[in-house]
Copies of this chain bind each other. A is one copy, B any other.
Amino acid sequence: MSLPSGYSIRPVKASDYKRYLEVLSVLTSVGDVSPSQFEKLLDHWAANSLIYFPRVIADAEDNVVATGMIVVEQKLIHGCSKVGHIEDIAVDKSQQGKSLGFLLISHLNSIGEKEGCYKIILDCSPKNTGFYEKCGYKDSGVQMAIRYD
């Protein structure tokens, strides 16, 4: 399986502002984020580049069509090993059927493995477990959450 011709997986950049927010809004509430806030956020992620790995899939015109992130957490357990957290996977609705989600997850998995993660985890709704199983993931427990919004 491979990306459509001209498509690429790359880090997010400031000029992705509009499309990045549009694609992410498929997933959840993005809220009110200005271009300058977006740049500041990218600077913050870049300043912590061994922790945050924000990636996008861009089409042949370099427009963002999918977003995803792996957050690499430095732990003590397992001999000072690391755990990767896959976050905020979103694929533009017009791009379904091209396996972009699978290809992005595979890319983020390879970043996590290269960074020395002994495991990578993510949380999903029960209806999406089949997709993540195709990406090599297994059901490993329950996600619990407490909300302050």
Contact = CB atoms under 8 A, between A and B. Distances in A.
Given A28-B77, A31-B81, A81-B31, A146 B138 contact: yes
A143 interface: yes
A94 to B, nearest CB: 21
A119 B129 CA distance: 22
Q: How large is the interface on A (under 10, 10 to 19, 20 to 34, 35 or more residues)?
A: 35 or more
Number of this chain's copies in the complex:
2
A33 B147 contact: no
A113 interface: yes
Given A74-B41, A117-B148, A80 B31 contact: yes
A27 B77 CA distance: 9
Nearest to A32: B79
B78 A31 contact: yes
A86 to B, nearest CB: 9
Contacts of A140: 123, 143-145
Interface stretch (A3-11, A44-52, A95-103): A44-52
A1 interface: no
Contacts of A81: 31, 149
Interface of A: 20-21, 24, 27-33, 37-38, 41, 44-45, 48, 51-52, 71, 73-81, 83, 85, 87-88, 109, 112-113, 117-126, 129, 132-133, 135-149
